[in-house]
Each structure stands twice: as structure tokens, then as C-alpha cells.
Amino acid sequence: MKILGLLIIGLVLTPVSCTTMKLDKFPQPAETSFVKSRSANDVSVYFKPLSNEKDYKKYFGANLMDKGILSIYMSIKNDSPESSYIIPAESIKLSIKDYNGRTFYPTKIEEQNPLDIPFHDLVVASAVTNLAVQQYSDATIIQENFKSVRFRTQTIDAGKAASGFAYFNLKDIRRAEDYKLCFKIIDPIADKSIVSCEKIDLEKVDP
């Protein structure tokens, strides 16, 4: 009788506790949030590094910082009246200056050379829902989302914006004070390119 009771409770609890993970989309920045890039006059940029566990859980389903991954959301707007620009994803670089004045360049987690991220390890199943199927489901969602929202090489037409996340491996890098994100802006018609760099406020980020 007791066993039957436990089984019924289990069956009732399972659908309640085992729900497919839902992730929020990162909100588009407001027009006023864009910072006019110094080096490229008709390109505005907006950076937002994810620096707390709550945000990572909300937008990625797991705290990537635990694995030493820093995610920086970037939105680039082309304010030019007629030119189109290409922003190559591989040109996005992060430089970090520590308190001793030494500069580090954290490895970027590239599309072609992805870091072997153990997505399954990121999933923490609760005591009630410690089910393999739930963990597997969550891991697939985290992995798919991680790849889908990545900033990729793209052409930005006049008046348009492009956005996505750039990922960096901050493992083995000590606390620093100065973070700078640089990327290349290519004008494919004029066959010219410039590098734009912006300082990022990463005060709350503890690598």
C-alpha cells in the first residue's frame, strides 16, 4: 500500500517537476545605450558583459562563469547613410590589463575551434528532478542556445544593426582592472578596414 502511494505521488510530481527549460532572449539595447565609436565615426557600439549568475541562468540556462567563460553581448549599429560594413567575428578580441600593468589576451571561443565545453556538467538537477532525461534535455537546450546567439561575421547595411555574444575563456586569468574589446570594421566596397576598440566596464566580473 505504501509503495503504491509513493508511486502515485511520484507520478503526480514528475510532470510538475520535469518541464522543458525555457530561456529568455537577451533584450535589444535602447537607442540611447549605443556608444559612438571613436575610431569609426558612423558606427555605434553597445557592449554588455554578463557578470552575474542570475543573468547567466536567465539567458544561458547555466552559469558559464563556473567554467571560466565570459560572455559579452555586443550590438553594432551602422549609422552611415549609405555604406555597408562587414564585422568579421574572428576579429573580435578582448585584452585585459592586470594591476601590474601586464596585458593578457584571453582565448576567444571560436566557431571553428570551439572549446570543449562540457554542457552536461553545467546542468544541475534538483533533488526531486534528478532524472537523466531532464539533465539531457537541459544540456541540449543550453548547447543550442549557446551556439545560436553567438555573434557571427555579418554585413551591416546602412541604418541597420547586428548583435550577438562573443565568448572568451577567462580560466587562469587573475582579477584585472582594464578590459578592452576590439573588432575590425571592413568597408568591402572601398576595400578599407579599421580597428575599433572600446573599454568595457567589467568591475563586477571576477574571473
Partner 1 sequence: MKKRKRLFLSLPILMVIIVLMIGCTFRIPQPIHRIDIPPVDNKINLQIGLVITEDYRNKEFIIKGGDTYILPVGENLVYHSKAIVNQVFTDPIILKGNEEKKYSEKIEYYLKPKVLMTERTTGVFSFSESKTTIGVEWKLYKKEPKPLWVETIVGTGVGQSGGVFELYHILTKNMKSALQDLFAKSQKAMVSSNLLRKLKNDKNLLAKSYKKKPDRVSEGSAPNDRLRSVTPGDTQSLMSQDLPDPKRKVSIDDIPSAELCAEQIRDLFSNKIVKGTHLRRGFSFIRYFKPDGTLVEESPKTGKLSGKWRTVRNRLCIKWNNGKGRCGKIAKKDGKINLYGVRKSSANAPAVVYEEFYTANDQ
Q: Which secondary-structure segment (H or E) carries 92?
A: none
Q: 47, 74 in Cβ contact below 8 A?
A: yes
CA-based nearest residue to 196, from 107, 98, 76, 114: 76
Q: 178, 199 in Cβ contact below 8 A?
A: yes
Q: If binding is defined by CB under 8 A, does position 35 make contact with partner 1?
A: no
Nearer to partner 1, 81 or 101 (CB): 81
Chain centroid offset of residue 189 CA: 30
Q: If binding is defined by CB under 8 A, does position 19 make contact with partner 1?
A: yes
Residue 108 beta carbon to partner 1: minimum distance, rounded to whole angstroms: 16
Q: If binding is defined by CB under 8 A, does position 147 make contact with partner 1?
A: yes
Nearer to partner 1, 10 or 99 (CB): 10
- Interactions with partner 1, residue window 74-93 (CB under 8 A): 82, 84, 86
Count H helices, E strands: the chain? Answer: 4, 11
What is the 8-class DSSP label of residue 26? P
Which of 54, 120, 152, 175 is the binder for partner 1 (CB under 8 A)?
152
Q: 98, 177 in Cβ contact below 8 A?
A: yes
Q: If binding is defined by CB under 8 A, does position 134 make contact with partner 1?
A: yes
Q: If binding is defined by CB under 8 A, does position 158 make contact with partner 1?
A: yes
Give how many residues touch partner 1 by CB under 8 A.
28
Q: If binding is defined by CB under 8 A, does position 66 make contact with partner 1?
A: no
d(CA 113, CA 120): 19
Residue 131 beta carbon to partner 1: minimum distance, rounded to whole angstroms: 8
Chain centroid offset of residue 178 CA: 19
Residue 91 beta carbon to partner 1: minimum distance, rounded to whole angstroms: 12
What SS3 state is found at 9? helix
Binding site for partner 1 (CB under 8 A): 15, 18-20, 82, 84, 86, 111, 131, 133-134, 136-137, 140-141, 143-144, 147-148, 152-155, 157-158, 188-189, 191
